[in-house]
Amino acid sequence: MDRERMLDMDRRLQPLRRQCFGALAIALVACGPWLGWWTLAPLVAAAVLFGLTDRVVGSMRRPEYAMFAAWAGSEAIIAVSVALSGGPTVPTMSWLAIPVVTLAARFSDRGIAAGVAIAMGLLVAVSFGVHGDVVVEQPPLLIAPAALLVVVTMFSVALMRSDVEHRSRAVLDPLTGMLNRLALESRADELAEQSAVSGEPVGLILVDVDRFKQVNDSHGHSVGDSVLRQTAYAIRRQLRAFDLAYRVGGEEFLLLLPGADLAEGIELARQLCQSVERQAVDGVKVTVSCGVAASPRGEAFDFAATFASADRALYASKASGRNCVTPQLDPGDGRPAAGESDGASSGARRTRTAVPSVPS
pLDDT of res. 168 = 58
Q: Could you give the C-alpha distances from 308 to 149, 188, 189, 302, 312, in angstroms and in order?
A: 50, 14, 16, 10, 6
Q: Three-state DSSP class for 356?
A: coil
Catalytic pick among 251, 267, 299, 340: 251
Residue 356 pLDDT more than 70?
no
Residue 140 pLDDT more than 90?
yes
Residue 257 pLDDT more than 50?
yes
Q: Where on the phi/psi map is residue 190: left (φ > 0), alpha (ψ -120 to 50), or beta?
A: alpha
Whether 251 sits among the annotated catalytic residues: the reply is yes
Q: Could you give the C-alpha distances from 108 to 5, 172, 174, 190, 242, in angstroms and in order?
A: 10, 18, 22, 22, 16
How confident is residue 31, by pLDDT bands cut at 50, 70 and 90? Answer: confident
pLDDT of res. 169 = 61
Q: Could you give the C-alpha distances from 158 to 154, 165, 247, 324, in angstroms and in order?
A: 6, 11, 29, 47
Q: Where on the phi/psi map is residue 259: left (φ > 0), alpha (ψ -120 to 50), or beta?
A: left
pLDDT above 90 as % of the chain: 45
Contact 329, 335 (CB under 8 A): yes
Residue 315 pLDDT more than 70?
yes
pLDDT of res. 47 = 85
What are phi and psi for residue 338, nearest 5 degrees?
A: -55, 140
Largest CA distance in the chain: 86
pLDDT of res. 66 = 87
Q: What CA–CA distance (Å, rounded) separates 159 from 171? A: 19
Q: What is the pLDDT of residues 340-350, one digit of tens each?
A: 333 332 333 33
Q: Could you count the other beta carbons within 10 Å of the beta carbon of residue 276?
A: 26
pLDDT of res. 40 = 84
What residue type is 250 in one-letter code? G
What is the full DSSP assignment across 130-190? HHHHHHHH-THHHHHHHHHHHHHHHHHHHHHHHHHHHHHHHHB-TTT--B-HHHHHHHHHH
Q: Could you count the other beta carbons within 10 Å of the beta carbon of residue 154?
A: 11
pLDDT of res. 272 = 94
Mean pLDDT, rounded, for 45-69 = 81
Q: Of 100, 114, 183, whose CA–CA distance to 146 is shortest?
A: 100
Q: What CA–CA distance (Å, rounded) separates 165 from 1? A: 12
pLDDT above 70 as % of the chain: 87
Q: What CA–CA distance (Å, rounded) separates 328 from 157? A: 45
Q: Which residues are 202's β-sheet partners?
A: 258
How confident is residue 180, by pLDDT bands cut at 50, 70 and 90? Answer: confident
Q: What is the pLDDT of residues 261-286, one digit of tens each?
A: 999 999 999 999 999 998 888 888 99
How confident is residue 179, by pLDDT bands cut at 50, 70 and 90? Answer: confident
Q: What CA–CA distance (Å, rounded) separates 346 from 336? A: 10
pLDDT of res. 351 = 41
